[in-house]
Amino acid sequence: MPTLLLVRHGRSTANSSGVLAGWSPGVDLDEHGEQQAKALAERLAGLPLSAVVSSPLDRCRQTVAPLLAARPELGALRLDERLGECRYGDWTGRPLAELAREPLWSTVQAQPSAVTFPGPEGESMRELSHRAVESVREWDAEVEREHGPDALWLACSHGDVIKAIVADAIGLHLDLFQRISVEPASVTAIRYTATRPYLLRLGDTGEFAGLAPRPRSAPGAGEDGDDAVIGGDTGTR
């Protein structure tokens, strides 16, 4: 079976300002995120990629743009809305520090499978998990049909989406997926087989600065500093 490289988009303007972007328009990579995107293309330069699929949101498309520019043989970028960010409904565009005071925040931390985000556009975490896993499984099968069982392909998505896919791959209940952390521009590798999925890499950024202690006042940190950041680590350590 092919090997999937799950790439989280580079640091965005919403990440650096501590805002939950969701599907907000006009959220681009910040200057650091642009550098991460260029570095990602260099890190992957020696790998024989067969295809690149992405969330349609700009921050993901911008993350893979340097890679596609350097590898014209990959052809056009394939887009899939199922790889798009969670639809956070009325939480979209609000500061993470403000959201951490909402009663629902505690449920997102402890029991994500019970969460549906408020408002008419709000999505449940169960729906997010289902569509994300369905997407990568279908693309994996298509890549195998087109390029064979040893193919390597890449999907660019978002923090909570990747965490949900990883949780499914390792048989972790959705209520425990906040134990997983994937930083901006990180690479996670999964190989699906007829027997089971194998998690080969998790949140690999190729550097260790992100392991330094996070200040308590960092954007997105909960009041006790231990909460998982909704939408994924902001990459602002």
**CATH assignment at residue 68:** 3.40.50.1240
Please check whether residue 111 lies inside any domain of the structure: yes
Structure confidence by residue, pLDDT tens digits, 69-116? 999 999 999 999 999 999 999 999 999 999 999 999 999 999 999 999
Please check whether residue 97 lies inside any domain of the structure: yes
pLDDT at 103: 96
181 alpha-carbon distance from chain centroid: 10
Half-sphere exposure of 126 (CA within 13 A, CB side): 5
Structural domain range at position 114: 3-211
Please check whether residue 223 lies inside any domain of the structure: no
For residue 32, which of 58, 56, 9 has the smallest C-alpha distance?
9
Q: How far is CA 127 from CA 84, 86, 90, 156, in A?
A: 12, 9, 17, 19
Cα separation, 167 vs 15, in Å, equals 23
Cα separation, 9 vs 65, in Å, equals 11
pLDDT(120) > 50? yes
pLDDT at 236: 66
DSSP reduced 3-state for 19: strand
Please check whether residue 233 lies inside any domain of the structure: no
Tally of domains in the chain? 1
pLDDT(162) > 90? yes
Please check whether residue 231 lies inside any domain of the structure: no
Give percent of the chain above pLDDT 70. Answer: 93
Please check whether residue 23 lies inside any domain of the structure: yes
Half-sphere exposure of 29 (CA within 13 A, CB side): 24
45-68 average pLDDT score: 97
Give all strands (DSSP E) within 122-167, no chain letters: 152-157
Please check whether residue 16 lies inside any domain of the structure: yes
Cα separation, 80 vs 54, in Å, equals 6
Answer with the residue of higher pLDDT: 1 or 69.
69
Please check whether residue 127 lies inside any domain of the structure: yes
pLDDT(215) > 90? no
48-58 average pLDDT score: 97
